[in-house]
Amino acid sequence: MAVYVDEAIVLRTHKLGEADRIITLLTRHHGRVRAVAKGVRRTTSRFGARLEPCSYVELQLAVGRSLDIITQAEIRRPYAEAMYADYGRYTTATAMLETAERLTVEEREPATQQFLLLVAALRALAEGAHAPGLVLDSYLLRSLSVAGYAPSFDACARCGSSGPHRAFAAASGGMVCADCRPAGVAMPAPETIALLGALLAGEWAVADPSALRHRREATGLVSAYLQWHLERGLRSLPHVERLEPGILAHPARSDGQDGDEADVTEPGGTGPGGTEPDGTDGTEPHGARSTDSTNDLSDDVSSDVTMNTGRV
């Protein structure tokens, strides 16, 4: 069986069968790859915990018939731990991972620049080198540029006349001059435009001391630009916490409701089932309903609901 090695960021995982997962990876040399990790949901798995989203890993993979199979995984940098320890970082990283997946359209098409950008952004986020919102916006602008959607924050995006210009039009590709300006464009503050240019160029000496109101305005323009180019919004973007000290988008709730304890019960739990009043002659096959009475190896600790039935 042919094997190869690569390094990768784990973008996403989902369950496969009883104990396996499909891992979506952005690799350095092979672009975006989906591969099977066998047995990783068992507690005895050697590398299950190393294949969580955000993990920066070195892998050995065996070429499979449809999907390759991960045969070895070693942590290269423990970015996942840093993200899971902080909700703001976690949601920021999630938006990055989703963007990376969306911008690498073809599987196995080499995307080394996207890989390097993502690694650098995760490192900056994990190390707390800059405000998470700035890291995210910089990453979004630069990954869009690598994907061929470079915005212009100086010369007119339409006619190329030299800036600075005052109007921003996402559909036109950035700043536009007075002659090219379509109706209904944004007119951001000059400081915001300077911030956007700095984020695109990675000039942190300019970006780091920027004012919060300019950061917020820049974030709105980056989001508009990204969503216009991706045609639909990233699912995770609205959940990104872009709260700086003293700026609370949503005041803390004080009504005593703790709605955060959402139970994550899996669908298809064995309910009472099958007691229709009449007409059930039993000829209808009841579907391939999986009986999860044999999931002793499951690591999902959510299946023990409905045990307290019949409190007479």
**Residues engaged in binding Zn ion (CB under 5 A):** 156, 158-159, 161, 177, 180
Within the chain, residue ranges assigned H as helices are: 79-84, 87-103, 112-127, 132-146, 190-201, 204-207, 212-230
Q: Nearest distance from residue 116's CB to Zn ion, in Å?
A: 33
Contact 10, 25 (CB under 8 A): yes
| CB atoms inside a 10 Å sphere around CB 167 | 19
Closer to Zn ion at the Cβ: 142 or 165?
165
Q: Nearest distance from residue 172's CB to Zn ion, in Å?
A: 9
Cα–Cα distance measured from residue 61 to residue 35, given in angstroms and rounded to the nearest whole number: 8
Closer to Zn ion at the Cβ: 33 or 167?
167
Closer to Zn ion at the Cβ: 154 or 203?
154
Closer to Zn ion at the Cβ: 132 or 174?
174
| CB atoms inside a 10 Å sphere around CB 198 | 20
Closer to Zn ion at the Cβ: 85 or 159?
159
- CA proximity to 214, closest of 234, 196, 236, 240: 196
Contact 174, 152 (CB under 8 A): yes
Closer to Zn ion at the Cβ: 51 or 177?
177
Q: Nearest distance from residue 160's CB to Zn ion, in Å?
A: 7
Cα–Cα distance measured from residue 284 to residue 274, given in angstroms and rounded to the nearest whole number: 11
Torsion of CA 111, 137, 184, 156, to 10 degrees: -60
Q: Nearest distance from residue 177's CB to Zn ion, in Å?
A: 3
Q: Nearest distance from residue 83's CB to Zn ion, in Å?
A: 41
Q: Nearest distance from residue 55's CB to Zn ion, in Å?
A: 45
Closer to Zn ion at the Cβ: 182 or 238?
182
Contact 135, 126 (CB under 8 A): no
Strand (E) or helix (H) holding 175: strand 174-176
Tokens 């323009």 correspond to 221
Q: Nearest distance from residue 157's CB to Zn ion, in Å?
A: 8
Residues 12-43, buried b or exposed e (16+ Cβ, 10 A)?
bbeebeebbbebbbbbbebbbbbbbbeebbee
Q: Nearest distance from residue 30's CB to Zn ion, in Å?
A: 41
Closer to Zn ion at the Cβ: 161 or 280?
161
Type of residue at 86 = D
